[in-house]
């Protein structure tokens, strides 16, 4: 493996800034810019940041058709996108090194990628269902060790040949001072009315009473016109609401017009480290409060809530079943249940489920077996997805899919793409939702979506006219 030390800075955005407007440049961000409680560098949010650019292969799936572009040549396929990705990664096997990531697949898997498997009718998508790049080098920032390294498995000869030039291009830490203006031109509009969201929850209650399901995750979409540089908006978002699984992606659409993904997700979907598998579903939410006593009371109320614990447990059971499809018999267990985690705008209940991956399975097999995440569908998953498709006015796109990496060495880490916005064609679009169960109160569920959208609202307000 090739490795080169770079200057360390607590704000990895400075390393990414020179790349931020390049097609297929991506930052997987652990939310370390500032701790919102102390205002100081470093926080509890995460350890590693990953910067990638210049993929040598790209995979784009739109309406079930995947275009693979490699060294100027295109291949079109209607095969299962997960199988295509698995076959592609298999061409570049590498041994595991000490690096968390030194090259491989990075990108997003949109929620609607498995519409066919869920027996859902095709619907037009604003963005592709999947966009993945294969990268032969990365910048890996370790905030615990306070190191920054340029790393590569060097699966391509050209990477080794161009290594000195690549090192030189990153030897200085850039500044964010040249970020460009971003302007919000209005107020966010939802695709549900207040009454309409209540009516959708009433319909879910009817399905639950009829025995169709136990829980359905219902979301609403917010959209507002914007102009300017989405990277500037992301810098503000990570300042306002750091989270452990943030991401910024600069991507080209079919007309070569760029769109951007801004994610400040708090939720891990799937991680593999060798044979070890981990997922951390979130279910249960209360708002933060500036008053310390009220904030503590909100946290205690969440911890004591029988409803929220039951809702969380339903998803834990669903995920145990999902990862059990590709894990060794008897290895899947819930290590932690109902752990309180507090973020800038909300408290959450988080559980941890682990397992041991079968020798015959890969990280891609695991991702496919669990996709999309149960915490943002409901239980049982297939029926919940069908009800979601019936009730939600718009497809979800990136929202509730996954963002992350699968290394050439088989290691994987992905988020659930909640608290995630897409900036495209002059619109800033984001969603917020929550799990609906039989004892859900419609107004409380509606308010929960607003609580979850608060960070995006606060970010947008900073740029409003």
CATH number at 254 reads: 3.60.120.10
pLDDT band for position 10 (cuts 50, 70, 90): confident
Query: Cβ-count burial of 177 within 10 angstroms (0-12 exposed, 13-18 middle, 19+ buried)?
Result: exposed
What is the C-alpha to C-alpha distance for residues 126 and 320, in angstroms, rounded to an integer? 32
The continuous run of DSSP H or E covering 220 comes out as: strand 215-228
Chain centre to alpha carbon of residue 216: 20
**R_g of the chain, CA atoms, integer Å:** 21
What lies within 8 Å, CB to CB, of 296 at 6+ separation is none
- Cβ contact 397:237 at 8 Å: no
pLDDT band for position 174 (cuts 50, 70, 90): low
The 3-class secondary structure across 328-394, one letter per residue, is CCCCCEEEEEEEEEECCCEEEEEEEEEEEECCCCCHHHHHHHHCCCHHHCEECHHHHHHHHHHHCCC
Q: What is the mean pLDDT of residues 202-228?
A: 97
Establish how many alpha carbons lie within 13 A of residue 394's alpha carbon, considering only the half-sphere containing its beta carbon: 19
- Cβ contact 407:205 at 8 Å: no
What pLDDT, in 10s, does the model give residues 66-106?
Answer: 999 998 899 999 999 999 999 999 999 898 888 899 999 99
Task: Kindly name the residue from 267, 311, 392, 445 that is annotated as catalytic.
Answer: 267
Structure tokens at 406: 């699968």
Q: What is the mean pLDDT of residues 109-136?
A: 92
The total number of structural domains in the chain stands at 1
Q: What is the mean pLDDT of residues 162-190?
A: 85
Q: Is 267 one of the annotated active-site residues of the chain?
A: yes
Q: Beta-carbon neighbour count of residue 35 at 10 Å?
A: 16
Residue 234 has pLDDT above 70, yes or no: yes
Q: Which residue, 266, 285, 375, 279, is CA-closest to 336? A: 279
Percent of the chain with pLDDT over 70: 95
Establish how many alpha carbons lie within 13 A of residue 172's alpha carbon, considering only the half-sphere containing its beta carbon: 4
The overall average pLDDT reported for the chain is 92
- Cβ contact 367:82 at 8 Å: yes
Query: Cβ-count burial of 273 within 10 angstroms (0-12 exposed, 13-18 middle, 19+ buried)?
Result: middle
Residue 42 has pLDDT above 60, yes or no: no
pLDDT band for position 180 (cuts 50, 70, 90): confident
Residue 33 has pLDDT above 60, yes or no: no
Task: Kindly name the residue from 283, 381, 448, 452 that is annotated as catalytic.
Answer: 283
Q: What angle do the packed helices 381-391 and 194-209 form, to 10 degrees?
A: 150
What pLDDT, in 10s, does the model give residues 289-346?
Answer: 899 999 999 999 999 999 999 999 999 999 999 999 999 999 999 999 999 988 878 8
Residues spanned by the domain of 207: 2-461
- Cβ contact 137:4 at 8 Å: no
pTM: 0.94
């Amino acid at each position: 493996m090739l490795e080169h030390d770079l200057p360390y800075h607590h704000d990895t955005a400075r390393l990414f800034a020179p790349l931020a407007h390049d097609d297929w440049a991506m930052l997987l961000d652990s939310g370390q810019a500032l701790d919102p409680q102390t205002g100081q560098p470093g926080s509890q949010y995460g350890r590693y940041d990953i910067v990638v650019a210049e993929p040598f292969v790209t995979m784009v799936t739109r309406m079930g058709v995947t275009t693979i572009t490699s060294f100027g040549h295109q291949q079109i396929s209607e095969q299962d996108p997960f199988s295509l990705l698995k076959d592609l990664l298999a061409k570049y096997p590498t041994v595991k090194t000490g690096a968390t990531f030194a090259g491989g697949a990075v990108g997003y898997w949109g929620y609607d990628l498995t519409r066919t498997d869920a027996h859902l009718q095709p619907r037009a998508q604003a963005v592709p269902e999947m966009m993945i790049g294969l990268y032969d080098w990365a910048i890996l920032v370790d905030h615990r060790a306070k190191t920054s390294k340029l790393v590569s498995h060097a699966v391509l000869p050209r990477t080794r040949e161009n290594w000195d030039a690549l090192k030189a291009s990153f030897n200085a830490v850039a500044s964010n001072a040249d970020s460009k203006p971003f302007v919000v031109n209005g107020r966010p509009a939802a695709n549900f009315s207040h009454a309409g969201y209540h009516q959708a929850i009433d319909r879910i209650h009817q399905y639950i009473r009829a025995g169709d399901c136990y829980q359905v995750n219902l979301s609403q979409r917010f959209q507002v016109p914007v102009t300017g540089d989405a990277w500037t908006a992301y810098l503000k978002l990570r300042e306002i609401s750091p989270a452990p699984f943030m991401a910024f992606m600069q991507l080209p659409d079919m007309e070569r017009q760029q769109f951007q993904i801004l994610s400040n997700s708090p939720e891990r979907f799937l991680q593999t480290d060798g044979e070890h598998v981990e997922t951390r579903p979130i279910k249960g939410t209360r708002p933060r409060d500036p008053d310390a006593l009220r904030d503590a009371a909100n946290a205690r109320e969440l911890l004591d809530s029988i409803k929220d614990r039951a809702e969380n447990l339903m998803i834990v059971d669903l995920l145990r079943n999902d990862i059990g499809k590709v894990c060794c018999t008897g290895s899947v267990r819930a290590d932690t249940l109902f752990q309180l985690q507090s973020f800038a705008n909300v408290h959450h209940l988080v559980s941890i489920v682990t397992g041991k991956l079968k020798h015959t399975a890969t990280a891609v097999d695991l991702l496919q077996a669990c996709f999309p995440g149960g915490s943002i569908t409901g239980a049982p998953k297939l029926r919940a997805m069908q009800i979601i498709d019936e009730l939600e006015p718009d497809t979800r796109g990136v929202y509730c899919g996954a963002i992350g990496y699968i290394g050439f060495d088989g290691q994987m880490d992905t988020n659930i793409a909640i608290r995630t916005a897409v900036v495209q064609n002059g619109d800033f679009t984001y969603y917020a939702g929550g799990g609906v169960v039989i004892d859900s109160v419609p107004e409380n569920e509606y308010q929960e979506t607003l609580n979850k959208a608060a960070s995006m609202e606060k970010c947008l307000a900073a740029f409003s006219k």
